[in-house]
Amino acid sequence: MKEDSIPLFFGIIAFMTAIALAILPYFIRRHKDRELLKSVTELDRGTPSERKLILTLLKHDIPASTIFHDLYLEKRPGKYAQIDAVIATRVGIIVFEVKDYSGWLFGKGHQPYWTQILAYGKERYRFYNPVWQNNGHIDALKKKLRANPDVPFYSVIVFYGNCILKNVSCIPPGTFLAYPDDVLQIVEHLLQYNPNAHYDSKTEVLRVLKEAVNNGQDPKVQFQHILNVSNTTNPSL
């Protein structure tokens, strides 16, 4: 090696080392996140936003054994309620609905449909009231958990994406609308300011929730649910 090329050689080595040291923490953190996520769910299960929610809960000491992701709760033969996430806590059962939207969102808790506005008002879309949607999930859970009639339920709807809740009102008690950064504050509030729930049968709760998670691993159940939703939104099919 020529003497005049030695500084260049060591310069390249130093540059590559700096890059490696810069990106190494990212890969370490990514590996840890993947391992943590696998304590609750599969790495490709559900939506990316749902998995972000699960990671947020896990990183803030919500026990993995109390978190249930991507549940398919059988309401009657061949009919399922798909629930994004559930936490079984000492104060009751917290049911999460995860949404991905952009633009401005408008709606009231008692209206069947809300409005999404995009492109500075040039585009408007209707979508089913997420409060009603998650209440439907809670009603389905209550019917399954008949041995636990006194357990409270709490509804948390988390809005991912770059949406803004521009004018949303008349939200019923026990229902919380949240951006991702609000989730932990809401969970901590529920745990701190509510009394311990009376579970008549914790065994039933765990059985029902685990069974619903297992249903979501069955491709036939997934297909049937997609078909049911498609037939509901497109009656002509």
Structure tokens at 233: 């939104």
The pLDDT of residue 83: 98
In whole angstroms, what is the distance from residue 34 CA to residue 28 CA?
10
Mean of pLDDT over the chain: 91
Q: Where are the domains of the chain?
A: 1-37, 43-233
Structure tokens at 67: 């978190």
Give the closest residue to 56 by CA, choosing from 37, 76, 80, 83.
Answer: 37
In whole angstroms, what is the distance from residue 198 CA to residue 90 CA?
8
Q: In the structure, what pLDDT confidence band is assigned to residue 231 with cuts at 50, 70 and 90? A: low
pLDDT digits (tens, 9 = 90+) for 142-182: 999 999 999 999 999 999 999 999 999 999 999 999 999 99
